Amino acid sequence: MKLSTEQFKHDFEERLTSKFAIELAKAGAQEKYGALSSVVKNYYSSIWAADNHYKDESNKKQAYYFSIEFLPGKMLKSNLLNLGILDTVREGLSDLGIDLDEIALEEPDMAIGNGGLGRLASCFMDSAASTGLPLNGNGIRYRYGLFKQKIVDGFQVELPDSWLDNGNPWEVRRYDKAVEVCFGGEVWLEDDGEGHFIPHYQNQERVLAVPYDTPMVGFENTTVNNMCLWRSEVPKDLDLRFQNLEYMNQTAMLSSELYPNDSDYNGQLLRLKQEYFFVSAGLQRILHHYKATKQAPITHISDFISVHINDTHPALCVAEFMRLLIDEYRITWERAWNITVKVMSYTNHTILSEALEKWPEEMVKSLLPRLYQIIIEIDRRRTAELLPKVGAKLVHSTRIVKDGQIHMAHLAIIGSHSTNGVAKLHSDLLKDVELHDFYLIYPERFNNKTNGIADRRWSQIANEPLSKVLDETIGKKWRSDLKELKLLESYKEDDATLQRLQEAKYEDKVKLAKLIEERNGIVVNPTALFDVQVKRLHAYKRQLLNVFHIMKLYFEIKENPTADRTARVHIFGAKAAPGYHYAKAIIKCINEIARLINNDPDIGDQLKVVFLENYNVSLAEVIIPAANVGEQISLASKEASGTSNMKFMLNGALTIGTLDGANIEIFEAAGYENGFVFGLTKDEVYDYYKNSNYNSRDIYEQNPLVHRILDAFVDGTIPNISAEGQQIFDSLTTYNDEYFVLRDFNDYVRAQEALEKCYQDQKAWTQAALMNIANAGHFSSDRTIREYADDIWHIKAKK
C-alpha cells in the first residue's frame, strides 16, 4: 500500500487520542502499541473486506487448514512488512521520538502452539497469503497459550501465559457466525419413511462456539486470508437450571488451555472435547458459508473446498463431515463418503508412537455418540469391501477400530485422498515402514511435502544486517522470491562480500550478547563461536549429546587451561512438557553445568554455557541470526523434518547434524562440505532395532571419556544434580540409552573437531556460510505451500 510518513504520523496521533484520550507526550508504551496496531488494522481492513468479496464472487476453490495449534509469534512487524510500510512507519515513529522496536516489545507472542507443528501452520498461513493462495486457518482461541518458562534454581517452572490480558488488536469477534457444538447424551435413529434415518438426540451438553477471525496479510499483494479461532461460550438461550458451576467451568475450559505437550499424547477427555469442538465448529461454518454463497448443490462441494487435517488432532473431520452431509444435508452414505475422501487430506508430523493418537472406544461412544456410530460404520463398510481384495491381515492392521481403540491416524488416512510426510526421509519411512500396510492398499495417496519456513520473518524482520548485505550484493528480488539467493554463489570468492557477511554476523552476535547479559548476567565475547541448540527439550532431539561434548571441553580446559583453543559459547533454549520429568532433569543439568563452567576462573572466556529461558518465536528471532552453528542432532529417523534447521541455514549458520529429517535435504542443497554430518544412519538405527544388539553399558565400560563424563553426573563433579544426574546416568547405562546417545558420541566429537578447525579459517567458514544462505531458497514455505496447493488441494493463486 502507499503511505507517506506524514499521513502515518497524522493517523497515529489521531488514533492515540481517539482510542486512549491521551496525547503523545503522556502516552506509555502500551498505549503507543495499542494505537499503532489499531492504525495498522485500519490499513488492511479494506483490503481484507475486498478480498473476502473477491473470494465469494470468484467462486474459486478454497482450502481450510485445521490445526489444533498455531504459533504465529508477534504480528506487528510482519503486518507492516507485508503491507510494504515497515520503513515508512519506522521513520514516522522516529520523527515522533518513538523507537518501533521498543513498541513492538509490547505485543505478547501469540503462542497457541507448542513447537514445530504449530509454527509450521503459521508459516503456511503467511506463505499462502503471500503467494495469493486462498487458504484459511481453523483452530482454537486458547485463553492461555503455551506456558511461560522461568528457570528457578536451575529448574523449569511453568507460569500461565495470559496473553489476552490487554486484548488482541488483530482479531475480530464474529458473534453472528457462532455455531453450536454438542456433546454426550443419547442418540437414536428413526426412519423418516423415505429411506433416511434421522438421528434424534436427548440430554446433550450444548456449547456455543464463537469465531474470532485474524487476518493473514499477504506480502505486498491484495490477498488477506483468515485464521478462524474458536472460543467456547455458554449458549444464551440455555435454561438457567442447566447453568450449574460444573457446566460453566467445563465450557470455559474447552478453549482455555493449550495442552503443553508436542510429542506425547495423553488421552484425556478434555483434549478429545477440544478436538471435536474446533472440528465441528469449523466444518459447520464452512458449510453455512457454502450454502450462503454458492449456487451449486452440496454434492459439488469438493469442487469448492478442501479441508486439511494437520496431524491427527483434527482427524474427527472425517466423521463429522460425514455426519453433517448425511444427517443435516440428507446425502446418501455412498455419495457422502466419496465427497469426504475428495475433500480431506492429511499430514503426518511424527513417527513417535507415543504421539500417535488412539482414543478408547468407550470414551468416544459416550462423548460423541453419533460420531461413534459413523466411525463404526466407516470401519465396517471398509472391512467388508476390502477383505476379498486385500485379505484379512492387511485389513486388520489398518482398521480404524480395534483392540477397544479408535486409531486416529487410520481414520485420517482412510478418510482422505492424500497423506504426506514432511521431509523426504520421513515420507519414505511412512511408506516403507510405519504406514507400509496403508501404502500397500492406497499407494497413490502417499506423497512428500518437505517443510519450509516463512523466510520473510526469519530474514527481513529478524536479520536486518544480513538483509542489507543481500540487497547490496544481489539486489532486492530475493525479498519476494527466495530462490534469488542463488545469485550469492557467484560472490563466494569475493573478499568484500565475505567481509560484509562477517560484519553482519558480528552485529547480530553483539545484539544477542547484549540480551544474554541482560537476561542471564553472563558476559560473552561476540567473537567466540556461537553454537546454538534451540528447540523443544526431548530425549530424541539429544540435547544430551551437546551437553556431553561441553563436558569434554570443560575437562580439556581444566587439564590444560593455557592451551590455544577456539573460544565457544553454547546457547540453549528449550521448553520441556510439564509432566516430562526426564526432559526437565536435562534442563536442570544444563543450568548446573552452565553455573559450574561460567564461574570457573580456569575456564574464563574459553567456554560459556547459556540457557535462555522461555524460548519462543520472538527470542528465536534474536538467537538464530547470531548463530555460527545450528545443532540438529536428533537420532536419525526420529525428527520428521525440523524447521529450525532451515532458519539457521538461511541466516548463514553451519549445520552440525545427523542424516535425519530435512537435514539431509539441507546438506544436499548447501553441499555436504558446507556442514558437519555425523552419526548413525536411519538404516543403521533400524538394524539395531531388528537385531536388538545395542548395549550402551558396554560403551560406558569401554570408552574412558564416556565413562568419565557419565560419572560426572553422579559423583558430585557437577553440583546440585544428585537426582537428575542419577536419572540421566541410569537411562544411558541401565536402561540402554533409547536414543543411542553413547553410540553417536565419538562421531559427534569428530564432527565438532572438524567444525572447530574450520572456524579457525574465517574465510573458509564464511564461504561455507555463504553457500548455506545461497541455497536456502528451496526451504521457503512459499515453495511448500505451492506444492500443497498444486498437488493436494488444487487451489489457484489470485493473479
The residues binding ligand DL6 (CB under 6 A) are: 115-117, 120, 262-263, 311, 349-350, 352, 355, 422, 451, 639-643, 661
- How far apart are alpha carbons 399 and 375 in whole angstroms? 11
643 flagged as catalytic = yes
Of 231, 370, 511, 535, catalytic:
535
Closest distance of CB 546 from ligand DL6, Å: 18
8-state DSSP, 480: T
User: Which CB sits closer to ligand DL6, 214 or 637?
Assistant: 637
289 flagged as catalytic = no
Q: Any idea which residue has 537411562 for its cell?
A: 731
Q: Cell numbers for 730, please give them.
A: 541410569
Q: Cell numbers for 433, please give them.
A: 515402514
Contacts of 256 (CB under 8 A, 6+ apart): 142, 143, 144
509 flagged as catalytic = no
HSE (side-chain half, CA atoms, 13 Å) at 27: 25
The distance of Cα 483 from the centroid of its chain, to the nearest Å, equals 23
- How far apart are alpha carbons 318 and 339 in whole angstroms? 10
Closest distance of CB 397 from ligand DL6, Å: 22
User: Which CB sits closer to ligand DL6, 251 or 350?
Assistant: 350
Closest distance of CB 429 from ligand DL6, Å: 12
User: Which CB sits closer to ligand DL6, 216 or 409?
Assistant: 409
Of 273, 647, 682, 778, catalytic:
647
Distance in Å from the first CA to the final CA of the chain: 17
3-state helix, strand, coil in the chain (%, to 5): 55, 15, 30
User: Which CB sits closer to ligand DL6, 223 or 533?
Assistant: 533
Closest distance of CB 544 from ligand DL6, Å: 18
Reduced to 3 states, what is the DSSP secondary structure of residue 610?
A: strand
Closest distance of CB 676 from ligand DL6, Å: 20
Closest distance of CB 607 from ligand DL6, Å: 29
Of 407, 456, 541, 549, catalytic:
541
How far is it between the farthest Cα atoms of the chain?
92
C-alpha dist (Å) from residue 160 to 146, 147, 164, 581, 614: 8, 5, 11, 19, 12
User: Which CB sits closer to ligand DL6, 628 or 663?
Assistant: 663
User: Which CB sits closer to ligand DL6, 169 or 661?
Assistant: 661
The distance of Cα 268 from the centroid of its chain, to the nearest Å, equals 22
The length of the chain is 799
Cα–Cα nearest to 640, from 617, 664, 619: 664
Q: Cell numbers for 249, please give them.
A: 467451568
558 flagged as catalytic = no
Relative to beta strand 405-407, strand 358-360 is: antiparallel
Nearest residue (beta carbon) to ligand DL6: 116
Of 349, 410, 426, 588, catalytic:
349
- How far apart are alpha carbons 19 and 6 in whole angstroms? 20
Of 312, 398, 643, 733, catalytic:
643
575 flagged as catalytic = no
Closest distance of CB 354 from ligand DL6, Å: 9
Specify burial of residue 409 (Cβ count, 10 A radius: 0-12, 13-18, 19+).
buried
C-alpha triplet 233, 236, 240: angle, nearest 5°:
100
DSSP string, 88-135: HHHHHHHHTT--HHHHHTTSPPB--S-SHHHHHHHHHHHHHHHTT--E
| 524 in Cβ contact with 531 (< 8 Å) | no
User: Which CB sits closer to ligand DL6, 116 or 211?
Assistant: 116
Q: Give kind and range of the element (H or E) at residue 190.
A: strand 186-191
541 flagged as catalytic = yes
Relative to beta strand 344-347, strand 305-310 is: parallel
Closest distance of CB 118 from ligand DL6, Å: 7
Of 77, 148, 370, 536, catalytic:
536
User: Which CB sits closer to ligand DL6, 311 or 724?
Assistant: 311
| 343 in Cβ contact with 306 (< 8 Å) | yes
User: Which CB sits closer to ligand DL6, 382 or 783?
Assistant: 783
User: Which CB sits closer to ligand DL6, 37 or 451?
Assistant: 451
Closest distance of CB 308 from ligand DL6, Å: 13
Contacts of 740 (CB under 8 A, 6+ apart): 635, 680, 685, 688, 694, 696
User: Which CB sits closer to ligand DL6, 356 or 622?
Assistant: 356
- How far apart are alpha carbons 472 and 456 in whole angstroms? 17
Closest distance of CB 539 from ligand DL6, Å: 12
Closest distance of CB 12 from ligand DL6, Å: 38
Residues acting as catalytic residues: 349, 535-536, 541, 643, 647
